[in-house]
Amino acid sequence: MALQGVLRPGFVQIRILDMEESLVHYRDRLGLDFVGKSEDGRVYLKAYDEFDRHSIILRETDEAGMDVMGFKVSDDSLLDDYARRLSDLGAEVSAVEAGEQPGVGRRVRFLSPTGHQFDLYADMELSDNGPMTENPDLWREEPHGMGALRFDHCLLYGVDIDGTAKLFTEALDFSISEYAAAPDDTKIAVFLTCSNKAHDIALVRHTEDAKFHHCSFLLDNWNDVGHAADILTRYDMSVDIGPTRHGITRGQTIYFFDPSGNRNEVFAGGYHYYPDNPTRTWTADQAGKAIFYYERALNDRFMGVVT
């Protein structure tokens, strides 16, 4: 089967406390390109290897966290079908008008049982600063900062992760690539994919809903993860853990916080997933290795700190 339907995570809108500091972080440190600012003050950015107009939206307010995560769908004609399937499963579905974000078409919005907002959309303008397409060089301008290639996925925390996972699998045709479960089979963490990636979204069970654990950006290789670590120390940025590797997804990773306390990840590697692959599973006694393959132990901060 060719890749159709829900294609990938396309954008995430993050709440930040201070726009100037956040711009230094996302533009100069992560290495995103500034796209523009809308009249309501939101700032739009993109990674150098993304074709679409923007992928990261920063909204200044007095709370940190995530407003909404958007998934791009292959064709506008699929949106109404997804909306129907979502509401048949009990999700609250609404419509977001074209142009609410500059250059973006109409969106179908739904609220998940874990209290997170997601959007589906099929149209976004192409960037005039996207990857070259004719006799393409690697990039138009050499990557700066950590050199993030693309916005890749989010990890979200909430109570009923089974309910949210069910919307993604049954209404949006995602697969569960991997999960970790307690001895009584309660799922602690679920990794879902709509593509060839090991995950496009992950969910972890938590005592509070609507929590944001991290948004993640793809780097080219393990050396670039090391370079990201060099930047984190040079600019005295707040590091969570890493460089290390995940047992789950096998990604090589480092975690850190933006100036408003939202967690970011940059990572490289991980396996490829195909829809016929069996689901990989982890038992709770191996959760340390599942999350941090080298440390083989969880840390309180990774498990408990969210925005």
Partner 1 sequence: MPVFDDRGEGVLRAMERAGRAEIPVGCRNGGCGACKVLVLNGKYRLGKISRLHITKFEEQEGYALACRLYPETDIEVRPVGSLLHRAPG
Interface residues with Fe ion (CB under 5 A)?
A: 216, 265
Residue 114 interacting with partner 1 (CB under 8 A) = no
Residue 97 interacting with partner 1 (CB under 8 A) = no
Which span (51-59, 90-98, 113-121, 299-307) binds partner 1, by CB under 8 A?
Answer: 299-307
Choosing from 116, 199, 206, 213, the catalytic residue is: 199
Query: Would residue 246 show up in a list of annotated catalytic residues for this protein?
Result: yes
Q: Minimum Å distance from CB 121 to partner 1? A: 28
- What does 70-96 look like in DSSP terms, one character per residue? EEEES-GGGHHHHHHHHHHTT-EEEEE
Placement of tokens 């107009």 in the chain: 53
Helices (H), the chain: 19-23, 79-88, 161-166, 222-234, 287-291, 300-304
Q: Which does 265 bind (CB under 5 to 8 A by kind): partner 1, Fe ion, none?
A: Fe ion
104 vs 55: CA distance, rounded Å: 11
Which residue type is seen at 266?
V
Which span (115-123, 148-156, 179-187, 255-263) binds partner 1, by CB under 8 A?
Answer: 255-263
Query: Would residue 25 show up in a list of annotated catalytic residues for this protein?
Result: no
Contacting residue, 107, 199, 260, 269, with partner 1 by CB under 8 A: 260
User: Hey, what are 37's tokens?
Assistant: 């600012």
Residue 263 interacting with partner 1 (CB under 8 A) = yes
Which residue type is seen at 119?
D
Contacting residue, 47, 154, 218, 287, with partner 1 by CB under 8 A: 287
Pairing mode, strands 201-205 and 150-158: parallel
Note the Cα 136 to chain centre separation in Å: 27
Residue 181 interacting with partner 1 (CB under 8 A) = no
Contacting residue, 186, 196, 238, 279, with partner 1 by CB under 8 A: 238
Q: Is 19 helix (H, G, I), strand (E, B) or coil?
A: helix
Q: Considering beta carbons, is residue 112 or 252 the nearer one to Fe ion? A: 252
Which residue type is seen at 6?
V
Which span (90-98, 126-134, 136-144, 297-305) binds partner 1, by CB under 8 A?
Answer: 297-305
Which span (142-150, 173-181, 193-201, 295-303) binds partner 1, by CB under 8 A?
Answer: 295-303
User: Hey, what are 31's tokens?
Assistant: 């290495």
Q: Which does 216 bind (CB under 5 to 8 A by kind): partner 1, Fe ion, none?
A: Fe ion
On whether the CB atoms of residues 266 and 247 are closer than 8 A, the answer is no
Query: Would residue 255 show up in a list of annotated catalytic residues for this protein?
Result: yes
Q: Which does 263 bind (CB under 5 to 8 A by kind): partner 1, Fe ion, none?
A: partner 1
Query: Would residue 153 show up in a list of annotated catalytic residues for this protein?
Result: yes
Query: Would residue 214 show up in a list of annotated catalytic residues for this protein?
Result: yes
249 vs 272: CA distance, rounded Å: 9
113 vs 207: CA distance, rounded Å: 13
DSSP 8-state code for residue 286: G
On whether the CB atoms of residues 122 and 78 are closer than 8 A, the answer is yes
Residue 137 interacting with partner 1 (CB under 8 A) = no
User: Hey, what are 269's tokens?
Assistant: 């590697």
Residue 157 interacting with partner 1 (CB under 8 A) = no
What residues are annotated to the active site? 153, 199, 214, 246, 255, 265
The residues of the shown chain that bind partner 1, judged by CB under 8 A, are: 17-18, 62-65, 238, 257-263, 287, 298, 300-301, 303-307
